[in-house]
């Protein structure tokens, strides 16, 4: 299975608490719900397109609890997101979550080495293994080079503080845009599909003047 990270970010890269003021107040975060005024039929269409590619879901413990607490209550059979989340296999990376607590069926708790467990899941046939939310897990997957594709909706708001998709200290990487899946939506929301091109280094260059003309020089 392809491993994809699907997430919402602000203009300054914050992914914490987009859906409600009390969604995630960890670290004293008090700016939750910043996505909601910018949501539209256009953003919903993009998100539904993500979920059409899902074959299974991978969560960290916190996001598993938050998403399960909401989506398990959505029983509308015409809601694609709820239907997929409530019926497709779910895997939670946690050394403390009990089977009794993991009651958003069908769920499997991954208690072994997370890298070994996730590599094993990626070898399974089927559609995508999708990550939604799960900030700490996403960072770990990025550092390990396990992410095959990033899907990002970037909203035109500066949150100013909070957990960022790529915080300071992230492994440098170059990403390539999948042009047919990237666009600017009405209202200024940017939809991006990105595939890692290289991990551990970024290309660099410089602007210089040659014979009176501005030119670029790449390393």
This prediction's pTM: 0.94
Decide: 59 and 93 in contact? Cβ < 8 Å.
yes
Number of domains in the chain: 1
The per-residue pLDDT string of the chain (219 residues; one tens digit each, 9 = 90 and over) reads 999 999 999 999 999 999 999 999 999 999 999 999 999 999 999 999 999 999 999 999 999 999 999 999 999 999 999 999 999 999 999 999 999 999 999 999 999 999 999 999 999 999 999 999 999 999 999 999 999 999 999 999 999 999 999 999 999 999 999 988 899 999 999 999 999 999 988 889 999 999 999 999 987
For residue 212, the domain's CATH number is 3.40.430.10
Total count of residues recorded for the chain: 219
Instruction: List the domain range (segments joined by +) for residue 171.
Output: 3-218
Among the listed residues 17, 43, 151, 79, the one whose alpha carbon sits nearest the alpha carbon of residue 71: 79
Cα 202 to Cα 163: distance, rounded to the nearest angstrom: 23
């Amino acid at each position: 299975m392809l491993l994809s990270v699907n997430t919402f970010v602000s203009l300054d890269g914050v992914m914490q608490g987009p859906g409600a003021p009390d969604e995630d107040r960890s670290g004293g975060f008090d700016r939750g719900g910043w996505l909601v005024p910018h949501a539209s039929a256009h953003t919903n269409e993009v998100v539904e397109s993500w979920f059409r590619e899902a074959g299974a879901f991978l969560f960290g413990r916190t996001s598993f609890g938050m998403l399960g607490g909401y989506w398990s209550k959505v029983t509308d059979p015409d809601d694609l997101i709820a239907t997929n989340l409530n019926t497709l296999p779910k895997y939670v990376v946690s050394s403390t979550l009990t089977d009794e607590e993991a009651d958003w069926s069908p769920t499997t708790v991954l208690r072994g080495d997370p890298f070994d467990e996730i590599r094993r899941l990626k070898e399974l046939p089927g559609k995508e293994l999708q990550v939604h939310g799960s900030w700490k897990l996403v960072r770990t997957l990025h550092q390990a080079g396990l992410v095959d594709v990033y899907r990002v909706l970037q909203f035109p708001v500066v949150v100013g503080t909070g957990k960022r998709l790529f915080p300071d200290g992230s492994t440098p990487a170059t990403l390539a845009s999948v042009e047919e899946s990237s666009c600017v939506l009405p209202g200024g929301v940017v939809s991006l599909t990105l595939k890692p091109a290289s991990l551990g280094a970024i290309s660099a260059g410089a602007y210089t003047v040659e014979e009176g003309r501005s030119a670029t020089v790449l390393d």
